């Protein structure tokens, strides 16, 4: 049995949860998320001392259900955190002349190419730009927030000699020494 899967998820009063045809729908103050659940996973909702507690169990001891046990517990936990607090990723732009700006809902990046790069995020994602070099991606779905951050970073990943490019906030880049002169 999965160690992560054994942990119960505590739901606050702000969260409404429904299960229909192996699809779990979680609604909270920030929005609504849904996830399809495997048939080998059982969800039970209990009320203990005024708190709603969701526990996840497997139907059998097959290898497949053991694999999915911890996965679905983590996915559901991320959904609960997303609809209550939300997720964010921060990116930094380093380099002379590299900058970013918002044009309505679209992000415009000037990162050393002959043309500006436009990024149109999905509707559930919001992007904020502070002082042209710091980008913050906000949303309720952890997977989509991470994908958009990765997509933006892939436009100009940090290069190993000077460190120019787009990096995650706090990311450490191993720099190479470069060419030795005579």
Tell me how many domains the chain contains: 2
Q: Is residue 174 part of a domain?
A: no
Q: Is the pLDDT of residue 1 over 70?
A: no
Q: What is the DSSP string of the chain?
A: --HHHHS-EEE-TT-EEEEETTEEEEE-SS-EEEEE--TTEEEEEEEETTEEEEEEEESS--HHHHHHHHHHHHHHHHHHHHHHT-EEEEEEEESTT-EEEEETTEEEEESSSSSPEEE---TT-EEEEETTTEEEEEES-HHHHHHHHHHHHHHSPPPTTT--EEEETTPPPPPP--PPP-
| Segments forming the whole domain that contains residue 28 | 3-84
Which of residues 6 and 86 earns the better pLDDT score? 86
What pTM was estimated for this model as a whole?
Answer: 0.85
pLDDT, tens digit (0-9, with 9 covering 90-100), for 42-69: 888 888 877 788 888 888 888 888 888 8
Determine the average pLDDT of the residues in 84-104. 92
Q: Are residues 91 and 76 in the same domain?
A: no
């Amino acid at each position: 049995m999965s160690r992560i899967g054994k942990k119960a998820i505590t739901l606050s009063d702000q969260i409404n949860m429904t299960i229909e045809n192996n699809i779990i729908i979680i609604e909270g103050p920030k929005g609504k998320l849904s996830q399809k659940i495997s048939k080998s996973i059982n969800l039970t909702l209990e009320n203990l001392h005024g708190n709603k507690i969701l526990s996840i169990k497997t139907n059998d001891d097959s290898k497949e259900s053991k694999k999915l046990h911890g996965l679905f517990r983590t996915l559901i936990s991320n959904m609960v955190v997303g609809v209550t607090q939300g997720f964010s990723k921060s990116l930094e732009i380093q380099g002379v002349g590299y900058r970013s700006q918002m044009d309505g809902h679209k992000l415009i990046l000037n990162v050393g190419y002959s043309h500006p790069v436009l990024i149109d995020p999905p509707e559930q994602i919001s992007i904020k730009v502070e002082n042209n070099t710091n980008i913050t991606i906000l949303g309720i779905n952890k997977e989509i927030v991470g994908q958009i951050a990765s997509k933006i970073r892939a436009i100009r990943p940090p290069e190993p000699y000077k460190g120019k490019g787009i990096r995650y906030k706090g990311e450490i880049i191993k720099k190479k020494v470069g060419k030795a002169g005579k």
